[in-house]
C-alpha cells in the first residue's frame, strides 16, 4: 500500500477490458457521448443481479423496475470484452474519454477507520497480474477518486429520483432520459457507429 506511490506497471494483458464489468456514472456516459458521438443506447446495457457479481444488494445504483433490479453497465461481449475494445488491436477506442472507473483500475483507495485517506493499493480479488515493476504516483489517482466520488453522489441522486417513479411498463432504459436530453439531438446517425 502506498500513500505517495504504488508499485505497478500495466503490461496490457487486457484483463480490465475483457473480464471486468464497467459501471459508468451518468457523467461518464455524457462525456463518452459528447466527445465521440456514440449513442448511449448502443453502448450501455442494464444488468440483473444474476448477471453481475461484486455489487451488493444495497448498492445505491440499483434501478428498481417493478419487482426487478438493474444496474447500468458498458455493454460487453463474452468473447471480445468491452463495447469500446477494438477487436483487432485490442486497444480502447475511447481511451481519452473512458470512464473514471477504468482510469482508477486496478487501484483501490485505502482509508483509516476515521475515513481519512491512507493511500492506494492494488485490488487483490481481481485477475489483473498486478505487475509491480513500475511506479504510479497517488496524487493523480486521488484526484480521480475525488472526481468519481462526486459523480457517484450525483448518480445516486438520479437513481433515487428514478426509483421514486413507479410508472407501469417502465424499462431500465428510461433512466437515460434523466440525463441524456442534452446530447441526444447532437448524435447523428453517422456518429452512432464505433
5-55: pLDDT as tens digits? 888 888 888 888 888 899 999 999 999 999 999 999 999 999 999 999 889
pLDDT: is 29 or 180 the higher one?
29
- Phi, psi of 58, rounded to the nearest 5 degrees: -95, 15
Question: Residue 62: CB partners within 8 Å, gap ≥ 6?
Answer: 55, 69, 70, 71, 159
Q: What percentage of the chain reaches a pLDDT higher than 70?
A: 92
Range of the domain at 23: 5-178
pLDDT at 37: 93
Number of domains in the chain: 1
Answer whether residue 186 is part of any domain. no
C-alpha cell at 120: 492506494
Answer whether residue 191 is part of any domain. no
Calpha distance 144→193 (Å, rounded): 29
Answer whether residue 102 is part of any domain. yes
Q: Is 179 helix (H, G, I), strand (E, B) or coil?
A: coil
Answer whether residue 187 is part of any domain. no
pLDDT (tens digit, 9 = 90+) per residue, 80-103? 899 999 988 889 999 999 999 899
Amino acid at each position: 500500500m502506498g500513500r505517495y506511490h504504488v508499485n505497478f506497471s500495466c503490461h496490457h494483458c487486457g484483463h480490465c477490458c475483457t473480464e471486468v464489468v464497467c459501471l459508468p456514472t451518468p457523467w461518464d456516459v455524457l462525456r463518452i457521448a459528447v466527445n465521440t458521438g456514440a449513442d448511449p443506447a448502443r453502448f450501455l446495457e442494464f444488468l440483473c443481479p444474476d448477471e453481475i457479481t461484486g455489487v451488493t444488494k444495497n448498492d445505491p445504483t440499483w434501478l428498481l423496475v417493478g419487482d426487478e433490479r438493474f444496474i447500468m453497465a458498458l455493454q460487453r461481449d463474452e468473447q471480445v470484452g468491452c463495447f469500446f475494445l477494438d477487436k483487432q488491436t485490442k486497444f480502447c477506442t475511447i481511451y481519452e474519454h473512458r470512464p473514471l472507473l477504468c482510469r482508477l483500475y486496478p487501484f483501490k483507495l485505502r482509508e483509516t477507520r476515521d475515513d481519512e485517506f491512507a493511500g492506494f493499493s492494488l485490488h487483490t480479488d481481481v485477475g489483473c497480474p498486478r505487475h509491480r515493476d513500475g511506479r504510479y504516483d497517488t496524487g493523480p489517482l486521488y484526484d480521480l477518486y475525488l472526481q468519481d466520488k462526486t459523480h457517484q453522489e450525483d448518480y445516486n441522486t438520479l437513481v433515487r429520483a428514478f426509483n421514486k417513479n413507479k410508472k407501469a411498463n417502465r424499462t431500465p432504459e428510461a433512466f437515460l432520459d434523466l440525463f441524456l436530453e442534452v446530447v441526444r439531438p447532437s448524435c447523428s446517425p453517422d456518429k452512432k457507429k464505433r
